[in-house]
Structure 1
Amino acid sequence: MKPQDIANAITQALVQGGSQWMVSTIVAFLPVLWTMTLMLHLGRPYVLRTLRRCGLRLGADVWWMSYLLIRDAVLLITFGLSLVFFLPNEVANAALPLTGPLAALLLLLALAVKLSRRVDDDIQAYRLATVFLVLGATLYYGPLVFAVEATSQSYLAGFSTFFTSDTNVSVAFPIMWISLVGVVVVAGWLFIRAWNAANHAMARRLTPSQVQPEQKQRIPAMQ
């Protein structure tokens, strides 16, 4: 075996091992992010009560803005890392929650509600986002706790086999593709909405500058 072949084999092994380690780390860290997402979202009443007792207006504004930024950033990061559930090779070869793609789709729907409606001012929008998050967390935590992490429990063997992706690929792939279509549809709707909003904002900015010269021309000259 030539030295170059040995070097290529070592490089390939490092790349494959690194990718597997990265995926395993993401999957292991996702429960923490899901928990933080739920805590920050459901902790809104506590934050509001704290703000009412805050006598310093500047401190209240800083506290509220920090809460909003952290809450939405954690939600966005959780969805970004949940894209691992849409990798066919990982779904087929790694022990992932069977309904993980559906949980990611519901997470995106909650994010879409936050982007399209004033969740912090509209109680109905807040409740809708809460429903999406709770359903997504249920679809994620259920298979994770009682299937992926319960392989040592013999009385959960049937549940574990069915709700683990690599042991039930025939069901995992349809769920993944259906959820992926839903993600594409929601993402496309958000893109079109953002595009239209940007066009309207640009039109409002350009209209006064275009109308003003015409108005100046219509003013009769003083004699």
Structure 2
Amino acid sequence: MAYIIGMVSQKGGVGKSTLARLMVREFVAGEMTAKIADLDTQQQTCTYWAGRRAEEQIAPEIQVQSFASVKSALSEAARFDAFVLDGKPNASDQTLEIAKAADLVVIPTGQTVDDLHPGVVLAHSLRKKGIGAERIAFALFKTTGSDRETEAAKAYLAEAGYCVLEGAVPVSTAYGSASDGGKALTETSFRSLNKKASVLAQSVIDRIVELSEREVA
């Protein structure tokens, strides 16, 4: 049975697809089978990224496939150890489908209230539709590097009742360059940036394992 991770957002450009790529790369690097289901059939951000990665012959190889529906994507999930559903932004019906199917729903967000508020609104709407708060986690993306601002963002999310994953991905042109070249966030030319991304990825893994163990117990 695959770990299913849903990447969702209320707005575009917050790092959802970037995080999906990071997670699958880390799973595969850890010798697990993993795949991204790219559910944004218009943008196909992950699909095009995988094409750039294949052209550059970057290892490990990452499997990405575009799907028109969550149902069709899930038909593939049992073949993998981990399966990441990368949804459309602002897609309420699809977002709920993803959340219902996922073991963990991850909402990437920046650290300003303009970013945090829409994410919390999305999380609250999922809870009202039956998704447990323990299955929702926030990932901090495009942070400024200010400890004060990061802690303020974490406090905002904690007060709203949600888990905040460890680590934060700061704004950096090196991350953008890596992505343009078909690389994940842990594959930049800078060890410190790779480590920051690795901490976040490990936190996602730790959270989903924790939730799975709770279910077994």
TM-score, length basis structure 2: 0.26
Structure with greater helix share of residues: 1
Structure possessing the higher relative contact order (Cα contacts under 8 Å, 6 or more residues apart): 2
